[in-house]
Amino acid sequence: MAPHVYYLVANFIAIVFTSVLNFVLNDIWTFGRAKLLPASKSQEKPSDDAQ
């Protein structure tokens, strides 16, 4: 950050950024990449023709 940024503002920005990054990384780690990647063929429901 620039040296002229007030330290409380810089601290607030750092806290918000770190909190959001922590949430996103924890969400990816906990629930996997299933939300980020398209559904694979193994996860699709079988069609009615398979009976």
Range of the domain at 6: 1-33
Residue 13 lies in a domain: yes
Question: Phi/psi of residue 42, each to 5°?
Answer: -70, -20
Which tokens sit at 1? 């950050």
pLDDT means per 10 residues, the chain with 51 residues, are 78 96 92 63 63 57
Whether 46 is in a domain gets the answer: no
User: What are all long-range contacts of 40-48, with beta carbons under 8 Å and residues at least 24 apart?
Assistant: none
Structural domains counted in the chain: 1
What is the pTM assigned to this prediction? Answer: 0.53
